[in-house]
């Protein structure tokens, strides 16, 4: 397929994931990603700021979906229930378990990417806490609830990508929130 073919972004993502899996993140260059996708480096940089962004480009959309669901939870919802609604929104956003498994394996193999993942999770917790504050939840309750929610998300996500798991991410999120609630009851 020529460089003017459709879905340049998707082609770049697929090429990057293949190369990161085959050779490792550190050993892969932007030039190699572009070449594998049948595109130019210039095209790569039109879609991604750097090679890390291939792995993190959907984070802003995921965060927006979660924060929006927290904000739109019924007014009567307890803070933890509003956060649960937000975290559960991720279950509809993340659908490709195989991609998520490969992505997480790449991140787990690289310290710089692990740090980036932690920064993204901290940003998510902060955004959820802000949404709770807008709902009238004061601190430290807003921050504690947001941090608990992101912990639930991480645990449910890890369970979801586990090879032995067949359950849907939303089910795992609900189960994880139920487990959390049973600990504090």
Residues 159 and 91 in one domain: yes
Q: How crowded is residue 2: how many other Cβ atoms within 10 Å of its Cβ?
A: 6
Structural domain that includes position 127: 58-184
- What is the pTM for the complete model shown? 0.87
Q: What is the pLDDT of residues 14-41, one digit of tens each?
A: 999 999 999 999 999 999 999 999 999 9
Long-range contacts of 37-40 (CB under 8 A, 24+ apart): 37/8, 37/11, 37/12, 38/1, 38/2, 38/3, 38/5, 38/11, 39/3, 39/8, 39/11, 39/12, 40/3
In a domain, 2, yes or no: no
Q: What is the pLDDT of residue 115?
A: 96
Residues 26 and 103 in one domain: no
Q: What is the pLDDT of residues 138-157, one digit of tens each?
A: 999 999 999 999 999 999 99
Q: Where are the beta strands (DSSP E) in the chain?
A: none
Phi-psi region of 136 (alpha: psi -120 to 50; beta: other; left: phi over 0): left
Residues 77 and 141 in one domain: yes
Residues 74 and 34 in one domain: no
Q: What is the pLDDT of residue 1?
A: 45
Residues 160 and 112 in one domain: yes
The CATH number assigned to the domain holding 125 equals 1.10.357.10
| 78 pLDDT higher than 90 | yes
- Express as a percent the part of the chain with pLDDT over 90: 85
């Amino acid at each position: 397929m020529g460089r003017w073919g459709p879905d340049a972004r998707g082609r770049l993502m697929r090429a990057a994931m293949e190369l990161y899996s085959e050779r490792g993140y550190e050993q892969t260059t932007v030039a190699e990603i572009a070449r594998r996708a049948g595109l130019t480096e210039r095209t790569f940089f039109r879609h991604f700021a750097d090679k890390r962004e291939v792995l993190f480009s959907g984070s802003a959309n995921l965060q927006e979906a979660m924060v929006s669901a927290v904000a739109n939870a019924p007014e009567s919802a307890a803070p933890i229930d509003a956060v649960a609604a937000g975290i559960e929104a991720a279950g509809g956003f993340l659908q490709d378990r195989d991609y998520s498994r490969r992505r997480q394996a790449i991140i787990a193999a690289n310290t710089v990417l692990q740090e980036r993942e932690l920064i993204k999770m901290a940003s998510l917790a902060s955004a959820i806490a802000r949404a709770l504050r807008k709902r009238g939840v004061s601190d430290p309750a807003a921050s504690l609830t947001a941090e608990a929610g992101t912990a639930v998300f991480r645990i449910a996500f890890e369970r979801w990508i586990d090879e032995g798991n067949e359950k849907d991410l939303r089910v795992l999120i609900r189960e994880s929130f139920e487990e959390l609630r049973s600990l504090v009851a």
